[in-house]
Amino acid sequence: MTHTLTHKKVAILVANGFEQVELTQPLEALQAAGVQVHIVSPEQEQVQGWHHYDKGDYFAVDVPLEQAKAENYDALVLPGGTVNPDQLRVNPQAIALIKDFATAGKWIAAVCHGPWLLAEADLIQGCDVTSWPSLQTDLRNAGANWVDREVAIAHQQQLITSRNPDDLPAFSEALIGCLNRVPVGA
């Protein structure tokens, strides 16, 4: 089914307070497909996930945000949780990195509250985008066509979005498909 992607590299950008499963499930799916994955963060050594409102595990930071470059990766993953994207959207380096991925024409995949970052980077004008339901007004105000489905793919802008942790299998499959240049869904 999935071809090995051993030549691909993906960055997952997170700050403290990311929804843990929104990092771990895509990370495991990407690694199973042979993708090299780096956790990028403004935190220097480790970053803490959350399980909804409860603190979760710590994860090693592979690349500090100030050293991360879009040119070193094939795609970027933006997990949600409310605290994580709220911190990152006011971080100029994080928004600059997201814009660099977009300018380079690389896939950006955001789940749950992660699409807040796409709005902050001004990347969703005219795109079909999905998210956690409470973001729909924000995303529409940023010019997106908000849709309620497990995966929305804006092929021209190379954006993949999903609503919540229940959508992670489809989200991961879509990202791997796009990295394989075999998009899943529309």
User: pLDDT tens digit string along 69-103?
Assistant: 999 999 999 999 999 999 999 999 999 999 999 99
Active site residue 112: yes
What angle, 0 to 180 degrees and rounded to 10, lies between the N-to-C axes of helices 168-179 and 21-32?
Answer: 40
Give the chain's count of helices (H) and strands (E).
6, 12
Q: Is 113 a catalytic site residue?
A: yes
What is the pLDDT at residue 3? 53
pTM of the predicted structure, to 2 decimals: 0.95
Contact by Cβ (8 Å): 5, 176: yes
> What is the per-residue pLDDT for 125?
97
Out of 3, 51, 112, 155, pick the active-site residue: 112
Sorted by where each starts, the structural domains of the chain and their CATH numbers stand as 9-179 (3.40.50.880)
pLDDT (tens digit per residue) in 150-178: 999 999 999 999 999 999 999 999 999 99
Q: Name the active-site residue from 51, 52, 113, 178.
A: 113
Per-residue pLDDT, 183: 45
**The pLDDT of residue 114 is above 60:** yes
- pLDDT of 2 > 80? The answer is no
Mean pLDDT of 49-73: 97
- 159 φ, ψ to 5°? -115, 140
How buried is residue 24: exposed, middle or buried, by Cβ count under 10 Å (0-12/13-18/19+)? middle
Encoded amino acid at 58, one letter: Y
* pLDDT confidence of residue 112: 98
For residue 185, is pLDDT > 60?
no
- Compute the distance between CA of residue 12 and CA of residue 175 in angstroms, rounded to an integer: 12
Q: What is the tens place of the pLDDT at every residue in 116-163?
A: 999 999 999 999 999 999 999 999 999 999 999 999 999 999 999 999
